[in-house]
Structure 1
Amino acid sequence: MQKDLHNKQPRLSELIRNPDSVIEDFDTIPDDDIEYVKEYGIGIDCHSRFIEVCVRYRNGKLINKAQGRFSTDWTSLVAAREWCINILSTKADPVPDLSEPLHYLVESTASYHMPVCMAFNGNPTIINPTIAGATKRKTDVLDSRLLALHDQINIWSECYMPSEDVKTLRILIDQRERFIHDANAAGNRINNIITRFGFTVGRSGSVVKDPMIRAIVEDQISDDPSSIEGLCPIPIPLEVRMVLRNEYEKYDYFTARANECKSRIFQKARSMEWETDTTRIPGDEMIRILATAPQIGELTAVLWLARVITPRRFRNAKALSAYCGLDPSLKISAGKVTSTVKRGGNKPLHKALNMCAHRLIHRHNEMFGIWGYNLQQQTGKKKKAANAVARKLSVAMYYMMKTGSEFTYDNYHSIRNIDVFDIPVEDLVLINGDFKRYIRILKENDIYTTTDLATAYISCSLGSCHGLGKKFFGLLKDFLDHHVTYKEMYDDIKSKLNHKEETVYE
């Protein structure tokens, strides 16, 4: 039986010569408007059962296309790669340099593209199917041809392929998140069930994490529940008690598995070496460096490493912020910003950085938190402020990882103490009349000079002053950002007033 099955498996040489579908060559004249950056292009349309491969190559002044379909077993995937190389080495004129890594363009269809990238190796470009550009007629063959064309004219940049260690670390992190999700689901079910029978102890805390509340619930679902003042006197039915016990067992199981995953995550991350811009650093040292950023714990630092991997992947800090989903795209019409669209980015990283940003703003005892709190007071938008602080965190961690140095506020000039020129607050009206309505409110809160105003802004004490709304914070931000220009305007106005007084006196 095993021998018969083995005989049915096609040999690699046979697959290279005869793929699942017939090879077709199409001679076309290259479009003069298209610049073919590369000597050839390979497009692969992925599915669960097969892949459709198209190879575009030069044949003198013409561009030829070869089409083939292969199964997704490992032998067939390797055969597909060898078939592409065979086409380029025997039919292309001139023959491309095949000593260089093979480049190709593949769609990111679920995880079906991963075995293809492993078999083809080389330098893959992986794109979302929605941005490849739809054709009028939708077929697998046409999709692969379009991908091959995009590869040859080099529209998309090459992708970074994570190592086996990084993929293992990512799977461990995802598995821990799944265990935590299942544990929380069990806790929510317990609270939902006991509430149906009149037990509302969950209002005071978690029925699984709070030891006192859990002890009460476990007592009520035991074989001999005790009578507790303030609780519903009607006992929980015996069958329901069994369900609740099973849910507690599930919670304990998933929590224990999550803790095991956590220890494995740290063990794996610390055993690896991580790249900076010039060298490699042991995992222990890199985690310690990243954890010096405000509100960034060791687990968030490991999540950052698993997703970012190396700063060399990104052109600059802005590109990394976009990867984290923290760089909003602007819609501009007639020179004006009409709306903003937040990019999706890496969801786990986006969520982790936003949670850190929310904690910074809530406590506002760090410079990032103070800056975000002031932005929140100015705009009235908590999510916008958290997103801005999270972006600052991502930029900071990018440079920390790039240089291998700890976090410091030394280079953040915009959030240092502002050295403004000192004048009475009522003199601000001379520069901008819109300040007039706020002078009384400022003096009632013991703010008499611009130095007092800047100090109150930095210390976040202006948020408790009633009557200072979004318009005031906009005026104040403009004054603090351009205080040098304001001083020149103030000096000019004062000199004119002094000159006028001297003229009247004479």
Structure 2
Amino acid sequence: MYIGIDLHKETCYATTLDKEGEIVDRREFKNEREEWEKFVEGIPRDSKVAIEACSYWYPVCDFLEERGIEMVLSHPSKTRIIAEAKIKTDKIDSKNLAKLLRADFLPRSYIPSKEIRENRELLRLRVQLGKDRTVVKNRIHALMAKNGVKHEFSDLFGVEGRIFLKEIELAESQRIARDVLLRQLESVDKEVEFVQKRIAIVAKGDEVVIILMTIPGIDYYSAMIIKNEIGKIERFPGYKELCSFAGLVPRVHQSGNTRWEGHITKEGNALLRWILIQAVHQVVRYPGELRKFYLRLKKQKGTKIAVVATARKLLRVIYCMLCRKENYRYERKALTESKLKRLEKTAC
């Protein structure tokens, strides 16, 4: 059986086709475990289930895997038959998924292992906490500017800076706002520390993470993001496919003999692209081919283009390192040891 399921937060609509492509069942049910139990009772275990990638597929994947039912994850932007349909309903969407699955024309998305999915959730939580902390800090900066407060601290949110913030004389309403924001900052800091420790515990002893940490500018946190966003390196035939996955390849327009390359597509994995660009700002401070490449391109085309191009080159280096299971050619062993000690300390 070939089953297409249009999955939503509250409901699901399933269309089942037999080997000849005839519809043998159509049903709508609630997206609840009990309803899923009833649904799978009536389908053969050798059935294939197609679901379009969305925010709700993780628990469904786990549920079907536990029961030995194969799930195929459809790539949403490439499933053009659904996106371009003039009439779009749950019934039509599920039918088209089933038809594409039966014909083996369904554009598939990679389904990472449960371990990788868990790690991704943890890492994305840490990224979000970092954004939350930045928002609070910016609000404190704005409050200080509003009240004409000047300071000479290199880090206003270090130990001495926070003492300074707490002791500033402000009007009552402004003082209340400051105290609330400082408490929010302390709360987010504690959550960051907690999540960071969990990440360190997972990273400790991970072979891929250790290899990635030999690159200057990549610590265990960056390495964990890179490793888990990539997943299995073997799924990429070459470094070009990996760079495309990260959205670090230029847009190409070609007509006849004319070929034009524009800015990067930004259609790939945004988190992987972001962490690579962050890493570039650090790695180019150290001697090596990446630094030479960056400085040469910066002189020719400017900083922004040089950073993105170096991020693409860094990802190419990472691809080779992971395929060969080799450390970074220009590794600074003292720096790597320092990062490993910091990892051990955080994980304790």
Please state whether the residue corresponding to 2:51 is helix, strand or coil: strand
Instruction: Report what 1:401 is aligned to.
Output: 322
2:28 to 69, 93, 102: 69
Aligned residues: 323
Q: Does 1:346 align with 2:346?
A: no
Matching residue's letter, 1:103: K
Matches within 5 A, 1:173-322: 173-201=123-151, 205-209=154-158, 211-221=159-169, 236-270=170-204, 282-283=205-206, 285-322=207-244
Instruction: Report what 1:358 is aligned to.
Output: 281
* Cα offset, 1:351, TM superposition: 0.6
Spell out, residue by residue over 1:399-448, the C-alpha distance to the aligned partner (whole angstroms, 9 max, x if none): 222222212269xxxxxxxxxxxxxxxxxxxxxxxxxxxxxxxxxxxxxx
CA contact (8 A) 2:79 2:107 kept: no
Matches within 5 A, 1:115-126: 115-121=59-65, 122-126=69-73
Whole-angstrom CA distance in 2 between matches of 1:388 and 1:376: 10
CA contact (8 A) 1:357 1:369 kept: no
CA contact (8 A) 1:50 1:71 kept: yes
Matching residue's letter, 1:263: K
Matches within 5 A, 1:11-30: none
Matching residue's letter, 1:106: I
* Cα offset, 1:263, TM superposition: 1.1
Spell out, residue by residue over 1:191-232, the C-alpha distance to the aligned partner (whole angstroms, 9 max, x if none): 21121122133x7644323x44433332214xxxxxxxxxxx
Please state whether the residue corresponding to 2:133 is helix, strand or coil: helix
Matching residue's letter, 2:221: L
* Cα offset, 1:267, TM superposition: 0.3
* Cα offset, 1:157, TM superposition: 5.0
Instruction: Report what 1:90 is aligned to.
Output: none
Please state whether the residue corresponding to 2:18 is helix, strand or coil: strand
1:56 to 13, 17, 31: 17
Instruction: Report what 2:116 is aligned to.
Output: 166
* Cα offset, 1:382, TM superposition: 2.3
* Cα offset, 1:162, TM superposition: 2.9
2:98 to 139, 148, 155: 148
Spell out, residue by residue over 1:383-413, the C-alpha distance to the aligned partner (whole angstroms, 9 max, x if none): 2222221112112222222222212269xxx
* Cα offset, 1:46, TM superposition: 0.9
Instruction: Report what 1:92 is aligned to.
Output: none
Whole-angstrom CA distance in 2 between matches of 1:187 and 1:193: 10
* Cα offset, 1:140, TM superposition: 1.1
Whole-angstrom CA distance in 2 between matches of 1:193 and 1:353: 33
Whole-angstrom CA distance in 2 between matches of 1:399 and 1:80: 45
Whole-angstrom CA distance in 2 between matches of 1:317 and 1:69: 43
Whole-angstrom CA distance in 1 between matches of 2:322 and 2:39: 39
| Aligned-residue identity in percent | 22
Please state whether the residue corresponding to 2:268 is helix, strand or coil: coil
Q: Could you tell me which runs of 5 or more consecutive residues in structure 2 were left unpaired when the two chains were aligned.
A: 332-348
Whole-angstrom CA distance in 1 between matches of 2:71 and 2:252: 30
Q: Could you tell me which runs of 5 or more consecutive residues in structure 1 were left unpaired when the two chains were aligned.
A: 1-39, 86-97, 222-235, 271-281, 411-506
The Cα RMSD (Å) is 2.5
CA contact (8 A) 2:203 2:220 kept: no
Matching residue's letter, 1:72: N
Whole-angstrom CA distance in 2 between matches of 1:252 and 1:358: 28
CA contact (8 A) 1:183 1:252 kept: no
Ranges of 4+ aligned residues in structure 1 off by more than 6 Å? none
Matching residue's letter, 2:252: L
2:3 to 42, 45, 48: 42
Instruction: Report what 1:106 is aligned to.
Output: 51
CA contact (8 A) 1:169 1:269 kept: no
* Cα offset, 1:143, TM superposition: 0.9
